[in-house]
């Protein structure tokens, strides 16, 4: 461990040296009304420049001024993608990046076990935040992110977007008309939403971990201890890190955690559940290994008012609509058994407009459409199911307000578990 620490310091020293020669891009000054950087661009620093983080480089409206990774190989590939990266500072420690005065927005594209800590630290450093999904690894971390963003006055967005743009997977339409239909009451209440292969959503079960991982030597380019961060120490194995980390409970939660917020955040939105969580989760799955994430067959969430979300892991739930209500059904492609649906819908209000441009949100200090609050609630769907999966609970009851499981202390120990020092929230 000691050796790793030293190599990290060397790395930072080298990065810092490399950085000194570059000019500082004036950041968007918080002061002057409507003041923009000369380039008319906000600036961003990206933490985690593996495959996902490198996708953030060309995101519109912002200019990369700094990148950070605990793997020097990632840094080098990212620099290449940045055309050599002149003027881009590189770091091994995200805490150096978030303190740069010239960074406006911090992008967090690390594995999820880091999201909570990094988001809170970025908030403390006064940065606005663009965070990868799933928002946090535990329910407790999500609450801390909400508190921090409120306390330090930051603007936060999550990196999924279906509640406000793009066609929504198998639905073949955006979410807005679905929201409108649901709000109209034409389908009745409560509703059951089925999310699986037959309604156009694939749960990506290739994100499974391997059992019996044997210890391997840590590659020179990787600061493994920093990569683990708040997670328990486990000996290094190639499969734990980088493109396969989703298969391990300590860092993520398989296909459910990967796709869950893409698929379920819009459901919470159109069901009007942005400020609440289900009161029950039921799970059908094989027993899970304590380290390696496996697959599952079916997960059913129930809300206090009787609305349900059914996740079909096997693609076996056939012949069901996407949304089933007592008065009508909605199928993929915005098809319905309600005759003359469009004519009927024309007599109902459109959903309120959302703030969908993050640069504008940052400049105007507006809350983004998908922010730390509704993002935390949709992430809670994932994190509550992951606890049930890991513990083999076929049913868990949840207090939506206190955000704790009812009458299950072992499950509650997974809500906000202690972190490996010195990391804490």
Please, which residue, 85 or 170, has the CB nearer to another protein?
170
Specify the long-range contacts of residues 11-16, CB closer than 8 Å, at least 24 apart. 11/72, 11/92, 11/223, 12/91, 12/92, 12/93, 12/96, 15/75, 15/89, 15/90, 15/91, 15/92, 16/96
Interface pick for another protein out of 185, 188, 306, 315 (rule CB under 8 A) = 315
Interface pick for another protein out of 60, 220, 353, 401 (rule CB under 8 A) = 353
Please, which residue, 188 or 392, has the CB nearer to another protein?
392
Of the candidates 248, 315, 214, 275, the residue with the CA atom closest to the CA atom of residue 112: 248
Interface mask (CB under 8 A) for another protein, residues 149-188, using x and -? -xxxxx---------------x-xx--xx-----------
- Name the minimum Å distance from CB 366 to another protein: 8
Q: For residue 409, state whether it binds another protein (rule: CB under 8 A).
A: yes
Cα 368–370–372 angle (5° rounding)?
A: 90
**What residues between 267 and 296 interact with another protein by CB under 8 A?**
283-291
**What residues between 225 and 254 interact with another protein by CB under 8 A?**
232-235
Interface pick for another protein out of 6, 60, 220, 347 (rule CB under 8 A) = 347
Phi and psi at residue 13, in whole multiples of 5°? -55, -50
Interface mask (CB under 8 A) for another protein, residues 47-76, using x and -? ------------------------------
Cα 31–362–158 angle (5° rounding)?
A: 150
283 DSSP assignment: E
Q: For residue 12, state whether it binds another protein (rule: CB under 8 A).
A: no
- Identify any residues that bridge with 62 across adjacent strands, giving them in sequence order: 42
Q: How many helices (H) and strands (E) does the chain have?
A: 13, 15
Give me 113's structure tokens.
Answer: 């076990």
Please, which residue, 63 or 335, has the CB nearer to another protein?
335
Please, which residue, 79 or 93, has the CB nearer to another protein?
93
Q: For residue 337, state whether it binds another protein (rule: CB under 8 A).
A: yes
Q: For residue 46, state whether it binds another protein (rule: CB under 8 A).
A: no
Q: Cβ contacts of residue 295 below 8 Å, gap of 6+?
A: 205, 208, 254, 255, 285, 286, 313
Q: Which stretch binds another protein (CB under 8 A): 6-14, 60-68, 272-280, 325-333?
A: 325-333
H-run or E-run covering 121: helix 115-124
Q: For residue 140, state whether it binds another protein (rule: CB under 8 A).
A: no
H-run or E-run covering 46: strand 42-47
Of the candidates 72, 74, 66, 73, the residue with the CA atom closest to the CA atom of residue 94: 66
Interface pick for another protein out of 58, 219, 306, 418 (rule CB under 8 A) = 418
Q: For residue 320, state whether it binds another protein (rule: CB under 8 A).
A: yes
**What residues between 78 and 107 interact with another protein by CB under 8 A?**
95, 98-99
Q: For residue 417, state whether it binds another protein (rule: CB under 8 A).
A: yes
Q: For residue 341, state whether it binds another protein (rule: CB under 8 A).
A: yes
Cα 170–172–174 angle (5° rounding)?
A: 110
- Name the minimum Å distance from CB 402 to another protein: 17
């Amino acid at each position: 461990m000691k050796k790793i620490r030293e190599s990290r310091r060397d790395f930072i020293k080298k990065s810092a040296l490399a950085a000194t020669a570059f000019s500082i891009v004036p950041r968007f000054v918080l002061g002057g009304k409507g003041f923009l950087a000369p380039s008319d661009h906000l600036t961003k620093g990206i933490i985690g420049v593996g495959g996902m983080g490198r996708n953030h480089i060309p995101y519109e409206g912002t200019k990369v001024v700094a990148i950070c990774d605990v793997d020097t190989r990632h840094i080098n590939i990212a620099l290449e993608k940045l055309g050599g990266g002149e003027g881009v500072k590189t770091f091994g420690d995200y805490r150096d990046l978030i303190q740069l005065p010239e960074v406006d927005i911090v992008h967090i594209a690390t594995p999820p076990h880091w999201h909570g800590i990094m988001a809170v630290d970025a908030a403390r450093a006064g940065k606005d935040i663009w965070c990868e999904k799933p928002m946090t690894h535990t329910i407790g971390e999500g609450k801390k992110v909400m508190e921090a963003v409120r306390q330090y006055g930051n603007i936060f967005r999550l990196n999924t977007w279906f509640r406000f743009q793009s066609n929504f997977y198998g639905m073949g339409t955006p979410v807005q008309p679905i929201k409108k239909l649901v709000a109209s009451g034409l389908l009745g209440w409560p509703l059951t939403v089925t999310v699986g292969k037959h309604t156009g959503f694939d749960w990506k079960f290739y994100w499974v971990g391997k059992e019996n991982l044997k210890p391997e030597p840590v590659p020179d380019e990787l600061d493994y201890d920093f990569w683990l961060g708040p997670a328990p120490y486990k000996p290094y194995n190639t499969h734990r890190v980088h493109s396969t980390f989703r298969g391990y409970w300590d860092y993520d939660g398989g296909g459910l955690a990967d796709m869950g917020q893409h698929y379920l955040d819009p459901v919470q939105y159109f069901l009007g559940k942005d400020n609440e969580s289900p009161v029950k989760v039921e799970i059908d799955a094989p027993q899970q290994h304590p380290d390696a994430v496996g697959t599952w067959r079916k997960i059913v969430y129930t809300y206090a008012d009787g609305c349900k979300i059914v996740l079909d892991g096997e693609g076996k739930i056939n012949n069901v609509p996407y949304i089933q209500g007592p008065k009508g059904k909605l199928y993929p492609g915005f098809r319905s058994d309600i005759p003359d649906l469009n004519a009927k819908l024309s007599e109902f209000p459109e959903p309120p407009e959302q703030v969908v441009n993050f640069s504008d949100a940052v400049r105007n200090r507006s809350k983004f459409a998908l922010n730390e609050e509704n993002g935390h609630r949709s992430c809670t769907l994932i994190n509550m199911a992951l606890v049930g999966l890991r513990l083999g609970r076929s049913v868990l009851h949840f207090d939506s307000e206190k955000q704790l499981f009812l009458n299950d202390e072992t499950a509650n120990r997974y809500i906000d578990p202690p972190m490996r020092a010195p990391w804490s929230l």
